[in-house]
Amino acid sequence: MLDRQEPPPYRIVNEQGPAPLLIACDHAENAVPNSLDGLGLSAAHLRRHIAYDIGAKQVSLLLSKRFDAPLLLSGYSRLVIDLNRHLDDPTLILEESDGIPIPGNRNLTDEMISQRKETFFHSYHEQYRKMAGTLFARCRHPVILSVHSFTPTMNGFDRPWEMGVLWDRNEGFAKRIIERLSKVTGFRIGENEPYPATDPEGYAQTVYGHQPGVEFALLEIRQDLIANRQGQRKISEFIHEALIPILG
């Protein structure tokens, strides 16, 4: 599905970083492969939150540098296929997002869906498994941090949290992060907000986060806080300061 001159389905940063931490950003980019003709959307639509997690890639890059940790970034829009959904999830390939129809995702054949799974989903998660396996082998207490961002308003509701921490089986670890982030930032940190970790069920947390001895948390950051470089630097500093004592 990709031309030779197009970027790969994922990007690895600082692969040999020694921190006991793997950072992943599943919705880092808003790119659409040439073969899908922009999914029938305008450039303005692809710059919106429906296409990617605004600011999350930049914060992830800063965190990778601050912690000296390996980082995995997705290469294409979540509208092509959502890398943090299970393959049988009905929201894996959306026909509509936040009220906006996605013409290029309608009337897909099984072959078209299989091509997207193979090209983007399987290649990304094959690399994710390799990087997680390396982390588990070299660290006694490995940590995976999945970095996302959320729009300040959704379905007419103004979300009151500046950040959120999502978890299902790692409550103790998540509570420590929430306590530290609250202390460092003074923000209102959502506990399994702006949505529960199990609705929809994230792929990464169940496949990688449920491994024995692994601490996993999904970090959500409100997009208006990280829409520019100054905000991205500030938030990455807060997260670094909050997590350093937890990571030891």
What pLDDT, on a 0 to 100 scale, did the predictor assign at position 150? 96
130-156 confidence digits (pLDDT tens): 999 999 999 999 999 999 999 998 777
Domain-located, residue 1: no
The pLDDT, as a whole number, for residue 199 is 76
In-domain check, residue 2: no
How many domains are contained in the chain? Answer: 1
Residue 5 lies in a domain: no
Is 25 among the domain residues? yes
* Structure confidence by residue, pLDDT tens digits, 39-76: 999 999 999 999 999 999 999 999 999 999 999 999 99
Q: What does pLDDT average to over the chain?
A: 95
In a domain, 139, yes or no: yes
Residue 3 within a domain: no
Residue-number span of the structural domain to which 40 is assigned: 10-247
Q: In which band, very low, low, confident or very high, does the pLDDT at 109 lie, cut at 50, 70 and 90?
A: very high
Return the pLDDT at 154: 76
pTM for the model stands at 0.96
Which residue reads 């702006």 in tokens? 194
CATH number for position 232: 3.40.630.40
Q: Does some domain include residue 4?
A: no
Report residue 173's pLDDT band, with 50, 70 and 90 as the boundaries. very high
Look at residue 155 and tell me if it is in a domain: yes
pLDDT digits (tens, 9 = 90+) for 79-104: 999 999 999 999 999 999 989 999 99
Looking at the chain, the whole-number percentage of residues with pLDDT higher than 70 is 100
For the ranges 8-12, 50-54, 158-162, 196-200, the lowest mean pLDDT is seen at: 196-200
